[in-house]
Structure 1
Amino acid sequence: MHKPLTSRTAAQALVDQLVINGVEHVFCVPGESFLPVLDALKASPITVTVCRHEGGAAMMAEAIGKATGKPGICFVTRGPGATNASAGIHVARQDSTPLIMFVGQVERSVREREAFQELDYRAVFGSMTKWTTELDDADRVTEMVSRAFFTATSGRPGPVVIALPKDVLSERSSAVNAPAFTQVETSPGAEEMTELAALLAAAERPLLVLGGSRWNPAAREQIEEFATRTGLPIATSYRRGTMFDPLHPCYAGDLGLGPNPKLVARFKSADLIVMIGGRLGEIPSQGYKLLDSPAPQVKFVHVHPGAEELGRVYRPELAIHASPIRFIAALSKLDIAPSAEWRAAAEAAHAEYLAWTETATPQPGDVNLGEVMTWLRDNAPADTILCNGAGNYASWIHRFYRFRNYMTHIAPTSASMGYGMPAAIAMQRLHPERLVLSVNGDGDFLMSGQEFAIAVQYKLPIVVAIADNGMYGTIRMHQEREFPGRVSATELHNPDFAAYARAFGGFGATVEKTADFAEAFAAARASGMPSIIHLKIDPDAILPGATLSGIKKAALEKA
């Protein structure tokens, strides 16, 4: 029988549970509503990163959850702090990332009076989280934290929010420590695997698509070995490219924004689609057009760790409720005969992928972002971690950069702007020995650019590249398609980003010609400081192989 611990506060018990569950990093913007927790963290082995905005703190925690598969942890204060952090909560929800956010709350004695910065957290975050609750009893703190870890990681992972009334944190707690959480893995049944084997044996043009979360390096290695043995062609979902080696002869490419048209055609012509781990949401399904809903026109096998996702959009021929790790382990043991036809299709698909991604397309202006990406692809270490947010600039990353190692791309599938800077800070904290890149658009960067101060504060030598075209490029592109020539609310006036870096105490360089990028990058690395490389991009260079003026002209002609 556990002996009650009576000599600690609820705040100390909470921090003790974080330590027990292996938490190494916490991200926060401090608030008086959780001062007892900050005090308890001071004496703990946990590294605390103090952020400049709660959205940044939540995104940093989400990046940790994405990279490790274990819940990222952030603390924010009540009211404005919590609502600022909601952007990171939404990323965790759509990206299926385990995250636990602890948020301050008013004292219990003044609740429901709309006290200072009071929020009903269950109402505010209920639709974005797997579980939102409030700690009312100091003696239940270890129970609540334990449940949060299991909830955030089980089934389809996602965010959990726990509100902490200020008065509860200072109360004494007799709660015993709960054991560390363990990942709950679901395994496929023998009958499902036998049926899958039969479906594969009968398929002439199968395609496996990898996505979602809850993968690990071993699962990636096993699926690559399975592809090598069988010759099955493999594609990856939007921003899940690190799940398979892009230079493997069976790799067909990624189904994201602006995918290879030949890969889209190959998906449409397949007679069996096996979706492993992901949801085949709006982006990878190309606006829900690749498969009919609810009844796909092709045999569809859906493997997912969350039972609620099976049949939610598409009725599968075969639904397999299993985590990718356990499913891939079972798949690797199937006696699937190698197929010359599959191998030929995979080799053709891989050749198409290489041709699509090998050489940067010409673009207007003196800085070709595609050539910058191919230079980084060929010169950055294979274990470099690239972080980015959202914007048309990311199209050059997806097309021309290749992620050779597992979890070297940390980016939101929800396409949330402002993500690349916080994520890079989190990754440099997690992997201080590795090169971490943050690639951003100009509008994208300034949604969280203040976090560069944190990189300087903690001496994190991240290299930030900012593609500056003076506008919200993605929105401008759609604007020219729908309202050609009628520019409204998409133009930006930007600072000198190199000077911005120096103002914070970092290194800054401006690149106005592609040929100058390598020298600027080397200088940034040699500085040993957080760095910003300001890339001057022609506004007409809107997408690889497309121009804004061309889009506008086509729209005017159509009108």
Structure 2
Amino acid sequence: MSKSQKNTAEVLVECLEAHGVKYIFGVPGEETLDFLEAIRKSQRNSKITFITTRHEQTAVFMAATFGRITGKVGVALSTLGPGATNLMTGVAYAQLGGFPLLVITGQKPIRKSKQGKFQIVDIVSMMKPVTKFSASVVNGDDVPQMFSEAVSLAEAERPGVAHLELPEDIAGEVCNAKPIPIKKIIPETASAESITEAVKEIEKAKHPLVILGAGANRQPIQKELKTFFQKTGIPFVSTQMGKGGFDENSPLYIGGTGIAQGDFAHLAFKHADAIILIGHDVINTPPIILTPESLPKCKVIHINFFSSVAKDVYIPTHEIIGDIKISLSALTEKIKKSESWDFNYFYKVREASKKDVLKFGQSADFPLRPEKVVADIGKVLSKSDILALDNGMYKIYITRSFVTRERNGLLLDNALATMGAGLPSGIALKILYLKKKVLVVAGDGGIMMSIPDLETAVRLKVNLTVLILDDSGFGMIAWKQKKLNMASFGLSFNNPDFIMLAESFGAVGHKVDKAQDLAPLLKKALNSKGVHIIACPINYQEANKILGSIKNLEASY
């Protein structure tokens, strides 16, 4: 191949450049060296930067976070076989979460190979059940078309994952193809009839209530929501992945849904006679069982890009299917504030929830109660800061009481709900937002699943704070085990010295020795340069005794 000629790998990189991709995360392998060389040339020209991670799972979590925030595909790279299989958890994380992602994997030569079946797994077939598109490049000239189709599908509602396999010999072949535009899939507009019918149901209700789901975060509909809430004054509740869809400092905010029953928000749900769910998705844990059998007197209005029904869990009585932004604007234009609406009970729920949050927010118990941890996080984070969660028991307490002020101000996973994503998400956020403060909260179980990439954070010189909540066990499963009256078994372990571990990576370690230490340490770390690890002992036992036991306002506990 002459210097003036291009190979297939270079054409694929040109497609990525043309689409505005700035970063690729991954762990290279022998079969991806042509592609890696093409990225090197791109990076030399200040176009695409390659970030090496210590595990493919971290790479795909980081890429998925880029897709989640930007709305355009994040890109992760792995080699064949074990590299590609290591991507799978992150691929499922993005597919279920609705985060646009493109994963590129290597493969042995397909025309002629001298290694037999060494390391060969049918990655294309493996990826198909958890992607929107999965294919192998068998001809370099097909790359622009395949890339366009893959990215178009990954970015369209509902967003998800596309996979391209690039065999070693195809990557190095001469290719004269050029990038082509990405086809943008325009969502349908909801029918006027569905809008009109929904308006009728809401206007004739006495206690309408809004629930904001993941789609309210994924789409920039804050302006439309503000207009709707200003015109109607209807209160709202946020699901776990809907937190931040609208400013929860609003007087209309009633509370969050950390669990599926027995919390303050569920009192509001049971009182409502019309619930409007904006951007809810049954892939996420349901905020409450919403079926004609569970709430026979309540109309359930589903507003999203797609229909969503789950037997025995979520059966809307009415659907508005189409572009959420357009649907919400049309709904707002037609609806009239009703004199018969009564929100007094919802406001009582809101006040009871606030009192509950304060009840243990100043607790001096040590190890710390989860309510104290959430309260201290709320004290030190400002409106524009970002809180990124791994998965664990603390997620319940944070989602029910942490006040999120901005879209994507709280990042969590309530779809696949995998452990290990918190640290990679935090690193990705700091690449995206150099000036914003980012706090990662992870349990001792989740952090150990991604701890090698603490080195990645230090190498990239990001300013990142990671709060590790240490209870020497898998706390959420222990809680459920106890609820089922089972003996405690199989869920405890020993932890390393997190301070020494942090320092061995070149990070700064801090330890919480008493309840009063946490807020000052958080503030100090967030305002300092470098990667900071704060190890904080936590005890869920007393808090868990009353979690999910809210039956009414008169006797909350």
TM-score, normalised via structure 2 length: 0.89
- The Cα shift of 1:332 comes to 3.1
* Per-residue CA distance 1:347-373 (angstroms, 9 max, x = gap): 344334433434535585242332232
The aligned amino acid for 1:31 is G
Contact 1:231 1:346 in 2 (8 A): no
State how far apart, in whole Å, the 2-side matches of 1:420 and 1:203 are. Answer: 41
The aligned amino acid for 1:306 is F
Is structure 2 residue 319 aligned with structure 1 residue 327?
A: no
Identical amino acids, percent of aligned pairs: 28
The aligned amino acid for 2:103 is M
Is structure 2 residue 237 aligned with structure 1 residue 235?
A: yes
Query: What corresponds to 2:555 in structure 1?
Result: none
Contact 2:458 2:505 in 1 (8 A): yes
Contact 2:203 2:338 in 1 (8 A): no
Contact 1:146 1:178 in 2 (8 A): yes
The aligned amino acid for 2:306 is G
Question: Which secondary structure does the structure 2 equivalent of 1:161 belong to?
Answer: strand
Contact 2:369 2:543 in 1 (8 A): no
Q: Indicate how the Cα distance of structure 1 residues 334 and 142 shifts in structure 2: closer, same or farther if over 3 A, else same.
A: same
The aligned amino acid for 2:472 is G
State how far apart, in whole Å, the 1-side matches of 2:175 and 2:294 are. Answer: 51
Question: Which secondary structure does the structure 1 equivalent of 2:360 belong to?
Answer: coil
Contact 1:231 1:338 in 2 (8 A): no
Q: Indicate how the Cα distance of structure 1 residues 135 and 225 shifts in structure 2: closer, same or farther if over 3 A, else same.
A: same
Q: Indicate how the Cα distance of structure 1 residues 273 and 91 shifts in structure 2: closer, same or farther if over 3 A, else same.
A: same
**Runs (5+) with no aligned partner, structure 1:** 1-5, 551-559
State how far apart, in whole Å, the 1-side matches of 2:216 and 2:33 are. Answer: 34
- The Cα shift of 1:442 comes to 0.4
Deviates more, 1:436-445 or 1:61-70: 61-70
Q: Indicate how the Cα distance of structure 1 residues 199 and 445 shifts in structure 2: closer, same or farther if over 3 A, else same.
A: same
Query: What corresponds to 1:164 in structure 2?
Result: 166
Contact 2:9 2:172 in 1 (8 A): yes
Is structure 2 residue 38 aligned with structure 1 residue 40?
A: yes
Contact 2:258 2:396 in 1 (8 A): no
Equivalences for 1:328-367 in 2 at 5 Å?
Answer: 328-339=328-339, 341-360=341-360, 362=363, 365-367=366-368
- The Cα shift of 1:218 comes to 4.6
State how far apart, in whole Å, the 1-side matches of 2:183 and 2:177 are. Answer: 17
Q: Indicate how the Cα distance of structure 1 residues 9 and 300 shifts in structure 2: closer, same or farther if over 3 A, else same.
A: same
The aligned amino acid for 2:354 is L
Q: Indicate how the Cα distance of structure 1 residues 51 and 441 shifts in structure 2: closer, same or farther if over 3 A, else same.
A: same
State how far apart, in whole Å, the 1-side matches of 2:295 and 2:538 are. Answer: 44
State how far apart, in whole Å, the 2-side matches of 1:465 and 1:258 are. Answer: 26
- The Cα shift of 1:412 comes to 0.9
- The Cα shift of 1:424 comes to 0.3
Contact 2:256 2:401 in 1 (8 A): no
Query: What corresponds to 1:186 in structure 2?
Result: 188
Q: Indicate how the Cα distance of structure 1 residues 306 and 34 shifts in structure 2: closer, same or farther if over 3 A, else same.
A: farther
Contact 1:69 1:214 in 2 (8 A): no
Question: Which secondary structure does the structure 1 equivalent of 2:241 belong to?
Answer: coil
- The Cα shift of 1:483 comes to 4.8
Is structure 2 residue 514 aligned with structure 1 residue 516?
A: no
Deviates more, 1:226-235 or 1:535-544: 535-544
Query: What corresponds to 1:77 in structure 2?
Result: 79
Query: What corresponds to 1:91 in structure 2?
Result: 93
Q: Indicate how the Cα distance of structure 1 residues 372 and 478 shifts in structure 2: closer, same or farther if over 3 A, else same.
A: closer
Is structure 2 residue 430 aligned with structure 1 residue 434?
A: no
State how far apart, in whole Å, the 2-side matches of 1:296 and 1:78 are. Answer: 52
Equivalences for 1:10-409 in 2 at 5 Å?
Answer: 10-44=8-42, 45-109=47-111, 115-182=117-184, 184-213=186-215, 215=217, 218-257=220-259, 261-281=263-283, 283-286=285-288, 289-292=289-292, 298-307=298-307, 309=308, 314-339=314-339, 341-360=341-360, 362=363, 365-409=366-410
The aligned amino acid for 2:7 is T
The number of aligned residues is 539
State how far apart, in whole Å, the 1-side matches of 2:352 and 2:222 are. Answer: 22
- The Cα shift of 1:542 comes to 6.0
Question: Which secondary structure does the structure 1 equivalent of 2:211 belong to?
Answer: strand
Query: What corresponds to 1:556 in structure 2?
Result: none
Q: Indicate how the Cα distance of structure 1 residues 543 and 62 shifts in structure 2: closer, same or farther if over 3 A, else same.
A: farther
- The Cα shift of 1:11 comes to 1.2
Contact 2:110 2:167 in 1 (8 A): yes
- The Cα shift of 1:391 comes to 0.8
* Per-residue CA distance 1:456-482 (angstroms, 9 max, x = gap): 000011100000011111122222233
* Per-residue CA distance 1:465-508 (angstroms, 9 max, x = gap): 00001111112222223354x33221111011111111000110
Question: Which secondary structure does the structure 1 equivalent of 2:328 belong to?
Answer: helix
Question: Which secondary structure does the structure 1 equivalent of 2:188 belong to?
Answer: coil
Contact 1:296 1:314 in 2 (8 A): no
- The Cα shift of 1:417 comes to 0.5
* Per-residue CA distance 1:47-78 (angstroms, 9 max, x = gap): 22211111111111111122222222111111
State how far apart, in whole Å, the 1-side matches of 2:344 and 2:335 are. Answer: 20
- The Cα shift of 1:328 comes to 2.3
Question: Which secondary structure does the structure 1 equivalent of 2:244 belong to?
Answer: helix
Question: Which secondary structure does the structure 1 equivalent of 2:215 belong to?
Answer: coil
Query: What corresponds to 2:503 in structure 1?
Result: 502
Contact 2:75 2:101 in 1 (8 A): yes
State how far apart, in whole Å, the 2-side matches of 1:342 and 1:168 are. Answer: 66
Query: What corresponds to 1:557 in structure 2?
Result: none
Q: Indicate how the Cα distance of structure 1 residues 538 and 198 shifts in structure 2: closer, same or farther if over 3 A, else same.
A: closer
Query: What corresponds to 1:553 in structure 2?
Result: none
**Runs (5+) with no aligned partner, structure 2:** 550-557
State how far apart, in whole Å, the 2-side matches of 1:283 and 1:114 are. Answer: 45
Q: Indicate how the Cα distance of structure 1 residues 412 and 314 shifts in structure 2: closer, same or farther if over 3 A, else same.
A: closer
Question: Which secondary structure does the structure 1 equivalent of 2:397 belong to?
Answer: helix
Q: Indicate how the Cα distance of structure 1 residues 84 and 339 shifts in structure 2: closer, same or farther if over 3 A, else same.
A: farther
- The Cα shift of 1:281 comes to 4.6
Contact 2:71 2:99 in 1 (8 A): yes
Question: Which secondary structure does the structure 2 equivalent of 1:480 belong to?
Answer: helix
Deviates more, 1:208-217 or 1:528-537: 208-217
Contact 1:388 1:438 in 2 (8 A): yes
Query: What corresponds to 2:531 in structure 1?
Result: 530
Question: Which secondary structure does the structure 2 equivalent of 1:232 belong to?
Answer: coil
Deviates more, 1:15-24 or 1:452-461: 15-24
State how far apart, in whole Å, the 1-side matches of 2:322 and 2:293 are. Answer: 22
Question: Which secondary structure does the structure 1 equivalent of 2:171 belong to?
Answer: helix
State how far apart, in whole Å, the 1-side matches of 2:339 and 2:11 are. Answer: 57
State how far apart, in whole Å, the 2-side matches of 1:349 and 1:69 are. Answer: 35
State how far apart, in whole Å, the 2-side matches of 1:363 and 1:540 are. Answer: 15
* Per-residue CA distance 1:388-429 (angstroms, 9 max, x = gap): 111112223223321111111111112211111110011011
The aligned amino acid for 2:223 is E
- The Cα shift of 1:310 comes to 5.7
* Per-residue CA distance 1:196-235 (angstroms, 9 max, x = gap): 2112112222222221337567512321231122111212
Which of the residues 3, 7, 19 maps onto 1:9? 7
State how far apart, in whole Å, the 2-side matches of 1:394 and 1:240 are. Answer: 14
Q: Indicate how the Cα distance of structure 1 residues 306 and 167 shifts in structure 2: closer, same or farther if over 3 A, else same.
A: farther
- The Cα shift of 1:521 comes to 2.4
State how far apart, in whole Å, the 2-side matches of 1:479 and 1:311 are. Answer: 26
